[in-house]
Amino acid sequence: MNSDPSRVPDLSDRPHRLVIEREMRADPHALYRAWTDRFDLWFAAPGSVTMTPRVNMPFFFETE
């Protein structure tokens, strides 16, 4: 484990699988946009989202 907080951690040995399920009373298209191309408008730090909004594609974001 890297003890230097100024360096990005090595995540190569960690599993990267996450599943979240929740029933919402909203338009599916609006939910999709909120969790993809508009994610940095309500949750992530502006400009920090790196992703391709497709199934099984990785994404990265930072919060403040």
Closest CA to 13 of 27, 2, 26, 24: 2
Residue 10 lies in a domain: no
Residue 40 lies in a domain: yes
Residue 52 lies in a domain: yes
Higher pLDDT, 8 or 21: 21
E-assigned strand segments in the chain: 50-51, 59-60
Residue 5 lies in a domain: no
Is residue 64 scored above 80 in pLDDT? no
Give the pLDDT confidence score for residue 23 in this predicted structure: 84
Structural domains in the chain (count):
1
Is residue 3 scored above 60 in pLDDT? no
Domain enclosing residue 49, as ranges: 28-60
Is residue 1 scored above 60 in pLDDT? no
Residue 39 lies in a domain: yes
Q: What are the pLDDT digits (tens) for 10-63?
A: 777 777 777 888 887 888 888 888 887 788 788 888 878 877 767 777 777 777
Residue 15 lies in a domain: no
